[in-house]
Amino acid sequence: MINLKRAYDSASKDDGVRILVERLWPRGVKKGALRLDAWLKDVAPSTKLRQWFSHDPAKWTEFQRRYSAELDAKPEVLEPIVNAARRGRVTLVFSTHDAERNNAVALRTYLATKRETRRRG
């Protein structure tokens, strides 16, 4: 199971393996204050894509498509998440204010789609 949580929300025992999926460290959060098991910068959208998206809701669908293409080009960066999810609960930690349209949401959807495709195949 893969859950999502903002970096500014408190960690809990129910989070399981906590993975930061941002290229940049969350603003205003001390490194010692954020309980993480991993920080996977390379799984985050490229700087170019992140800047293009700029959290514009009108660009959400296209952002997801472009981000999926980036992930398709480097599937190895997903292995730590996939392996952790096989063993139990994973929480993808993100720092954006928009909890509905961000890279962690897109990443969880991408992983669920890939898992479903493997099941069918």
Q: What is the pLDDT of residues 28-70, one digit of tens each?
A: 999 888 999 999 999 999 999 999 999 999 999 999 999 999 9
Residue 84, helix vs strand vs coil: helix
DSSP 8-class letter at 11: P
Model-level pTM?
Answer: 0.93
3-state helix, strand, coil in the chain (%, to 5): 50, 15, 35
Identify the pLDDT of residue 114. 84
